[in-house]
Amino acid sequence: MGNIVAIVGRPNVGKSTLFNRLTGQRKAIVDSIAGVTRDRLYGKAEWAGRKFSVIDTGGYIIGSDDVFEGEIRKQVQIAVDEANLILFLVDAEDGITGMDEEVANLLRRSEKKVMLVANKVDNAMRQTQSAEFYGLGLGEVHNISAMNGGGTGDFLDEMIAALPEDPEEEELDIPKIAVIGRPNAGKSSFINAITGIERNIVTDVAGTTRDSINTRYNLFGKDFLLVDTAGLRKKSKVHENLEFYSVLRSVRAIEDADVCLLIVDAERGFEGQDLAVFSLAERNKKGIVVLVNKWDLVEKDTHTAKRFEDNIREKIAPFSDIPIIFMSVLNKQRIYKAVEEAVNVFERRQQKISTSKLNDLMLPIIQATPPPATKGKLIKIKFCTQLPTRVPSFAFFANLPQYIKDPYKRFLENQLRQHYDFNGVPIQIFMRKK
């Protein structure tokens, strides 16, 4: 996992503006999770070749501008818990306020690396005024204007220099499996059921954040790493922001994994939040297995499972080629099957198809069903190859790649899925100029 930078400060000092500038206005990946993102609060940034993640802690604080000290405290607490570096944003227009002093006190006590950033410094007079922030006792004041970008280049150079070295991750060629899903769907009990059986932990892999612990297991002849994000938070801090934390944790567990086991509560069905977490995994191109837990509690008739499964596939379309397993953690029903399936998905995700085999299969199919002509021009696909990426990706070379639309790409993807087993694995189709 890379470094995490958190932005803290009282309302209206420009936290979201700075967040947007750092993440280049790219949609943060928490954009579709209902009820959490009044604001976008987690994004990725890169500067001078270093990648890092940014949290805007102000993005989820409930209550408008009259944020009370308690809320600010929570914000700072999250930053201290989650980040390697904290950016404390103050407003050069207003000067030091009581709330700034409050935040400064909390930060000084935290022993975390803090950079004090004075925003809205867009003229010489403000430059002079911003000197008063040295009075907060947090060292150097970095003057920027998040709105027009003034000073941000130098500030980013210093920020990158302040970040710890990116941890060296051990590259093991065994699946990293993350257990994800909404709170209370049974993630912890599933992990306990698996790991409690033969708790033969091989190693705690170095270089992982204390937020997601990668533990190596060997179970039923399968060797894998479990990315466990559950149970690391002291309960007292969690309850106000359970949803926020569970989202942030899912995001990071997903990024850190090869295959995600998405646990769904059978009694609640497959809901919006399940779909949001599913989409996160899919957008990150991770392998996915859906586990329907508490199946023992559902009233059944002959078609229940089939109906439930069809309903899920309908909601996750177009990417519905995934394993769905009905299980009961309580009765230890099919929980091994879940691990086995995750390892299988990992292996499918690794498969490489030779270029000659791929062309022998796909070119006749393309000839029989060519892409529809656009603007009277015939589109010809002459050649295809699998790209050397971690995620199965295929490039199709055409005379007019820009005219090939999504439905046809989906047709190609479905053909590949019919002939090769990519069950549970998102694949990417690229059109390139011949």
Does 2 show up as a binding residue in the annotation? no
Is 265 within any annotated ligand binding site? no
15 appears as a binding residue in the annotation: yes
- The response to whether 231 counts as a known ligand-binding position is yes
Check the annotation: does 406 bind a ligand: no
Q: Is 56 annotated as a binding residue?
A: yes
**CA distances (Å), 148 to each of 28, 119, 122, 186, in order?**
21, 11, 8, 47
209 annotated to a ligand binding site: no
204 is in an annotated binding site: no
Question: Are the beta carbons of 272 and 243 closer than 8 angstroms?
Answer: no
- Is residue 53 annotated as involved in ligand binding? no
Which amino acid makes up residue 196?
G
Determine whether the annotation assigns residue 84 to a binding site: no
Measure Cα distances from 434 to 355, 373, 384, 415, 431 in Å: 16, 17, 10, 21, 9
Residue 232 marked ligand-binding: yes
Per the annotation, does 294 bind a ligand? yes
The answer to whether 128 is annotated as binding is no
- Does 183 carry a binding-site annotation? yes
Tell whether residue 60 is among the known ligand binding residues. yes
Residue 119 annotated as lining a ligand binding site? yes
Q: Is 141 known to sit in a ligand binding site?
A: no
| 295 labelled ligand-binding | yes
Is residue 74 part of an annotated ligand binding site?
Answer: no
Cβ-count burial 389-411 (b if 16+ within 10 Å, e if not): eeebbbbbbbebbebbeeebbee
100 annotated to bind ligand: no
- Residue 217 annotated as binding site: no
Instruction: Tell me whether residue 214 is annotated as binding.
Output: no
Residue 97 marked in a binding site: no
Please indicate if the annotation marks 176 as binding a ligand: no
The DSSP 8-state label assigned to residue 13 in this structure reads S
121 marked among binding-site residues? yes
Alpha helices in 83-222 (DSSP H): 98-110, 124-129, 152-162, 187-197
Check the annotation: does 188 bind a ligand. Answer: yes
Contacts of 251 (CB under 8 A, 6+ apart): 29, 30, 42, 280
Q: Is 73 annotated as a binding residue?
A: no
228 is in an annotated binding site: yes
Please indicate if the annotation marks 186 as binding a ligand.
Answer: yes
State the amino acid at position 64 in one-letter form: S
Tokens read off for 377 = 């021009």
Q: Residues within the annotated binding site for GTP?
A: 9-16, 56-60, 119-122, 181-188, 228-232, 293-296
Q: Residues within the annotated binding site?
A: 9-16, 56-60, 119-122, 181-188, 228-232, 293-296
